[in-house]
Amino acid sequence: MDIVESKVRDQLDVHALREQFPVLAREVHGKPLVYLDNAATAQRPLKVIEAMDGFYRRYNANVHRGVHQLSVEASEQFEQSRAAVARLLNAGSDREIVFTRGTTEAVNLVANSYVRPRLKPGDEILITHMEHHSNIVPWQMLCEQTGAVLKVAPINERGELLIDEFESLISERTCIIGVVHVSNALGTVNPVAEICAMAKKHGVPVLVDGAQATPHEKVDVQTLGCDFYCVSAHKMYGPTGIGALWAREDLLEAMPPWQGGGEMIQRVSFNGTTYNDIPHKFEAGTPNISGAIGFGAAVEFIEEIGIERIADHEMRLLDHATQEMSKIEGLTIIGQAEYKGPVVAFTVDGAHPNDIGTIIDHHGVAIRTGHHCAMPVMEFFDVPATARLSFAVYNLHSEIDVFLEGLEQAQAMLA
């Protein structure tokens, strides 16, 4: 009885939680908004909005460069946010967190600062078939410019990485492995710890695209054993245009700066420049200060709820949606891995995903349609695009039912 009562007390009051998200109170086409496009970008709670508003209202100033009170306060808040991100990922120190514009810039930073100086013609970069474009294109660009070779590990019809084939592609020429933690197009959760252990045996560093993992599950970079981990704030209730790269301190120390300018220097003369300490040597120019402060507030928002409670709630939503959608004739769920994040991508016979999305939008329901910046995944499943539901902590079972009603109408209209 005590255990049951404990579980009941531990369940989220989602209706109360939703009041922290102003946008969820609006209507779309005369219907209450049902927002199911969280893998693209999540909504922002008042905690984040007020943190950013407070910066502009009370202590707007540049960071690390002034002795006046506003600059001191801005710098303190900025660095507190860095500490929050380090805490979220269980980094070894705050020095291992580099603020970037998001996951995409974090991948590009590693590609250009860590990998490029080490690449020779014939060297190899290994990724998977389920990667987001941001973990494909930077590596392709490097290969085109250096003569290196891009290797791609295959997936199966369930959208799972073929782990044995993956390991067989690791060779003495492999310079880095890039792998997505949770696929945005399929929901597949990759065995990152196993992949990192595998890579370590071969002495190959691993970069993990964690954009879709950090909002939904506990991420401990030390336990995972990776070398680089990339995140975006806007996937996890924070602002757009801000994210972070976590990297081992010894790697950051050895890496040259990628961009030059203010902040990333200690001394500049026409005879040469002395670079700043990490992480600042990778943060050239005035940073996105309000974004970083909002990022820190988003981390605190997640911590206050508890990532385990968020994950439990989202898995219940995923189970409900999957069960109900599996009953629909002519609907195919794309990506049925054993371990999935809160994403359901699907197609409907005789209907283009864009048409489905447009009709459902008139029910007030926001879903994503298209290739989801994962065109190779679409090619693998031989579809031009998919429609996609993706859940967050504020979503309700009843919202899935509203979506299903809209989908039923879409099928009838498009039949």
- With a CB cutoff of 8 Å and minimum separation 6, the contacts of 244 are 85, 97, 98, 99, 100, 106, 230, 231, 233, 295
Task: For residue 109, tell me if it sits in a domain.
Answer: yes
For residue 10, the domain's CATH number is: 3.90.1150.10
Structural domain total, the chain = 2
Task: For residue 43, tell me if it sits in a domain.
Answer: no
Nearest 5°: CA angle at 42, between 214 and 354? 115
- Same-domain pairing of 278 and 405: no
- Same-domain pairing of 246 and 315: no
- Same-domain pairing of 232 and 87: yes
| Active-site annotation, residues | 373
pLDDT digits (tens, 9 = 90+) for 196-211: 999 999 999 999 999 9
Task: For residue 207, tell me if it sits in a domain.
Answer: yes
Torsion of CA 60, 62, 65, 68, to 10 degrees: -10
Torsion of CA 315, 320, 326, 327, to 10 degrees: 170
Omega of the bond prior to 279 within 30 degrees of 0, cis? yes
- Same-domain pairing of 326 and 404: yes
Last residue of a domain, one of 241, 275, 304: 304
- Same-domain pairing of 167 and 251: yes
pTM of the model: 0.96
pLDDT digits (tens, 9 = 90+) for 254-288: 999 999 998 999 999 999 999 999 999 999 999 99
- Same-domain pairing of 228 and 351: no
- Same-domain pairing of 279 and 258: yes
Last residue of a domain, one of 304, 320, 335: 304
- Same-domain pairing of 178 and 160: yes
User: CA-to-CA distance for 371 and 350, rounded, in angstroms?
Assistant: 18
The domain of 248 spans 49-304
Task: For residue 42, tell me if it sits in a domain.
Answer: no
Pairing of strands 206-209, 174-180: parallel
- Same-domain pairing of 291 and 211: yes
The answer on pLDDT for 12 being more than 90 is no
- Same-domain pairing of 257 and 313: no
User: CA-to-CA distance for 114 and 205, rounded, in angstroms?
Assistant: 10
pLDDT digits (tens, 9 = 90+) for 113-162: 999 999 999 999 999 999 999 999 999 999 999 999 999 999 999 999 99
- Same-domain pairing of 71 and 205: yes
* Whether the Cβ atoms of residue 266 and residue 276 lie closer than 8 Å to each other: yes
- Same-domain pairing of 276 and 223: yes
- With a CB cutoff of 8 Å and minimum separation 6, the contacts of 75 are 63, 64
